[in-house]
Amino acid sequence: MRDVFTKEKRSEVMSLIRSKGTKVEKRFKKALCENKFKGYRINPKCYANPDFIFGKYKIAIFCDGDFWHGKNYKKLKPKLKKKFWREKIEKNIKRDKKHNKKLAKIGWIILRFWESDINKHMDKCMKQVKLSLKKRGYFKGKQKQRNPPTTNETTND
C-alpha cells in the first residue's frame, strides 16, 4: 500500500511522535501518584533511559509502545511491507534485551509494561511495582541511597 503523505509530510508527522512525556507515561505517573508511591524520578538521565526509576531501590520502569518495541512481533512482521520498519523494530527489541541484561547484571529490577497493558490493566502494573518495591524494602522505611546506573557502571563486560 502506498503512503498517503509525501515524503516531507511523513517526516513532519513522524517528528511529532514523542519519546518522552507520552500519554502512556502520564497515565503511569498518575497511577503512581494515586497509589501514593514516592521517591521515583521521571525520565532520569542514566543508562538505558528508563521512563521511571526508584533509584534508592534499584528499580527501572519502562513504558513500551506496542508497535515500537515489538509486542506480538511474530504476528506483526509479515504485515510490515517496508524493510525499514522490520529493521527498526528488531533493533529496538535487541536493544531492550541488551539493556535488561546489563541492568540486571548490576542488580537492578527491570519492569517493562506494554502500552496496551498500561491502558487496560493498570491495576496489574501497579501490583508489579508494589511487589518489586516490597522485595527491595520500600515499605520498611530506611535504606541506603542508591544513585541511578551510569554508562561507566555498565560497561564492565
pLDDT band, residue 143 (cuts 50/70/90): very low
Residue with the bigger pLDDT between 22 and 156: it is 22
- 40-89 pLDDT, tens per residue? 999 888 899 999 999 999 999 999 999 889 898 988 888 887 888 889 99
Is residue 2 a part of any domain in this protein?
no
Is residue 18 a part of any domain in this protein?
no
- Please give the pLDDT value at position 146: 57
Is residue 13 a part of any domain in this protein?
no
Cβ(154)–Cβ(49) under 8 Å? no
Q: Which CATH number goes with the domain that contains 35?
A: 3.40.960.10
- Please give the pLDDT value at position 7: 72
Is residue 11 a part of any domain in this protein?
no
- Please give the pLDDT value at position 18: 53
Q: What is the DSSP string of 10-26?
A: HHHHHHT--SSS-HHHH
Is residue 79 a part of any domain in this protein?
yes
Q: Give 89's contacts (C-beta < 8 A, 6+ positions apart).
A: 67, 68, 69, 70, 73, 76, 80
In 3D, which of 14, 119, 102 has the Cα closest to residue 65?
A: 119
Is residue 15 a part of any domain in this protein?
no
- 88-130 pLDDT, tens per residue? 999 999 999 999 999 999 999 999 999 999 999 999 999 999 9
- 10-36 pLDDT, tens per residue? 566 555 555 567 899 999 999 999 999
* Three-state secondary-structure class, residue 59: strand
Q: Please tell me the total count of domains within the chain.
A: 1
Torsion sign across C-alpha atoms 139, 53, 68, 4: positive
Is residue 116 a part of any domain in this protein?
yes
Is residue 148 a part of any domain in this protein?
yes
The domain in which residue 67 lies consists of 27-154
- Please give the pLDDT value at position 98: 97
- Please give the pLDDT value at position 13: 54
